[in-house]
């Protein structure tokens, strides 16, 4: 590592740590806790004004639990972080758990009254991820108990014993949803990647062989069926037999519910640069949990990173684009918060594993863009969506899909990697 890179690492580490501690943590402790009903308030406009009566979705309720839990693990003297996680778990178990059929509802009203009782594996995966992390750092056994119960329900109702993987969209009683927009006939890299993420933390918490075995199965499935060997990128959607098919907008997904930014309406073969870079570090984290060699998946990591640099990275302005083809320039060049969070971790992880200066340079370009345009310094959190030049398309701070998870996790994971690299 040359002196210039080391100096830039030192600067970035200081900036990221300050933003985490004095921006993100402060903001969500002050604004994200529903003191009246329990759980979390995440609908927050561009000026930081909270919509307290908004409905609550499994995705952001669990991501807030995960965020406060993980941050308590990093700052164990901060009992306010522990307490913020605990009250979220209390609300989540009380109001989202389906006592009749098992599993977790998709959404409830502010007071916990059920609204959408479907069993969407994306949401179930984040319940496992959040609750296992909560037990891992607090030792409260309830988190692991419910994480294991959720895992068992996935094996019973969602595991596809013919083609492998998991059915992703199911109704309240665990029957598979209709074809088409409800996507009972589709599988995706997105959800299987988040199952890998969830099973990793579950295995770290429980140490049970079955959790490690199912994690290993998901890893193999992703690498064997979901990454394009020729282009090096992740593919988006598949039929139930894992044949790649053009991607569509699906019910209860961010792309279907978004009200801003460009939408690809026509079914199209696409790849997500954010998911590809996120896959790099989540895959390495899973290998670490399983005790596998640290360089086991360096080849696929290199292909994913190189594809993102070639097509997803804005080499002139910084930041990463949203979506594009398997090969060729991006289709959607606006820039969204979560891709520009995950790309920070992924490129740092690739640099740490592979030592290629180009990956650190990509991290620096993205972080420079993020600091300048995404972070609302007055508020302490990130804007949702920008155009290619950094002009806000949506400057909202939170919504049913945006909470502490991507921003807080990115700062935490980058802090860890930069600290390790600086220690060498």
Between these two residues, 257 and 136, which has the higher pLDDT value?
A: 136
Kindly give the residue spans of alpha helices, DSSP state H, lying in 114-173.
Answer: 121-138, 141-153
Total tally of structural domains belonging to the chain: 1
Please write down the HEC assignment for all residues of 248-262: CCCCCCHHHHCCCCC
Buried b (16+ CB within 10 A) or exposed e, 270-280: bbbbbbbbbbb
CA 122 – CA 281 distance, rounded (Å) = 19
How far, CA to CA in Å, does 74 sit from each of 69, 254, 408? 9, 29, 12
The alpha carbon dihedral of 277, 281, 282, 286 has a sign of: positive
Q: Is the confidence at residue 223, as pLDDT, over 90? A: yes
Q: What is the mean pLDDT of residues 332-346?
A: 98
Could you tell me the strand order of the sheet in which 335-336 lies? Answer: 335-336, 385-386, 392-394
Q: Is the confidence at residue 49, as pLDDT, over 90? A: yes
pLDDT tens, 122-132? 999 999 999 99
Q: What is the mean pLDDT of residues 154-161?
A: 98
Say if pTM beats, i.e. exceeds, 0.95. Answer: yes
Q: Kindly give, in sequence order, each residue whose CB lies less than 8 Å from that of residue 282, ignoring residues fewer than 6 positions away.
A: 193, 196, 197, 200
CATH number at residue 78: 1.50.10.10
Domain that holds residue 315: 3-423
pLDDT tens, 175-222? 999 999 999 999 999 999 999 999 999 999 999 999 999 999 999 999
Q: Is the confidence at residue 255, as pLDDT, over 90? A: no
pLDDT of residue 257: 87
Residue whose C-alpha is closest to residue 276's, from 345, 213, 379: 345
């Amino acid at each position: 590592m040359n002196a210039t890179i080391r100096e830039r690492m030192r600067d970035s580490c200081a900036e990221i740590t300050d933003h985490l501690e004095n921006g993100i943590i402060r903001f969500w402790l002050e604004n994200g806790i529903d003191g009246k009903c329990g759980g979390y308030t995440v609908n927050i406009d561009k000026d930081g004004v909270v919509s307290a009566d908004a409905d609550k979705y499994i995705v952001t309720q669990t991501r807030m639990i995960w965020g406060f839990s993980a941050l308590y693990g990093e700052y164990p003297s901060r009992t306010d972080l522990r307490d913020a996680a605990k009250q979220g778990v209390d609300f989540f178990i009380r109001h989202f758990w389906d006592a009749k059929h098992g599993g977790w509802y998709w959404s409830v009203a502010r007071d916990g009254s059920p609204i959408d009782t479907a069993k969407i594996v994306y949401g179930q995966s984040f319940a496992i991820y959040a609750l296992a992390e909560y037990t891992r750092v607090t030792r409260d056994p309830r988190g692991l108990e419910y994480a294991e119960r959720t895992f068992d329900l996935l094996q019973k109702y969602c595991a596809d014993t013919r083609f492998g993987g998991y059915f992703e969209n199911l109704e309240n009683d665990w029957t598979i949803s209709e074809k088409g927009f409800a996507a009972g006939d589709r599988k995706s890299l997105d959800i299987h990647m988040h199952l890998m993420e969830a099973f990793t933390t579950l295995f770290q918490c429980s140490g049970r062989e079955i959790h490690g075995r199912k994690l290993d199965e998901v890893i193999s499935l992703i690498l064997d069926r979901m990454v394009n060997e020729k282009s090096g990128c992740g593919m988006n959607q598949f039929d139930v037999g894992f044949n790649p098919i053009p991607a569509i907008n699906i019910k209860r997904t961010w792309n279907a519910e978004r009200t801003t930014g460009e939408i690809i309406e026509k079914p199209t073969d696409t790849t997500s640069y954010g998911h590809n870079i996120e896959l790099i570090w989540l895959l390495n984290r899973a290998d670490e949990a399983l005790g596998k060699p640290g360089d086991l998946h360096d080849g696929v990591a290199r292909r994913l990173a190189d594809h993102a640099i070639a097509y997803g990275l804005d080499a002139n302005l910084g930041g990463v684009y949203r979506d594009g083809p398997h090969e060729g320039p991006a289709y959607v060049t606006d820039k969204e918060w979560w891709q520009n969070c995950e790309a920070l971790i992924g490129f740092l992880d690739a640099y740490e594993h592979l030592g290629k200066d180009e990956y650190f340079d990509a991290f620096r370009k993205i972080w420079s863009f993020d600091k300048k345009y995404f972070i609302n310094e007055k508020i302490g959190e990130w804007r949702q969506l920008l155009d290619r030049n950094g002009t806000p398309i949506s400057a909202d701070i939170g919504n049913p899909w945006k909470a502490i998870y991507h921003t807080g996790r990115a700062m935490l994971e980058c802090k860890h990697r930069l600290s390790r690299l600086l220690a060498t």
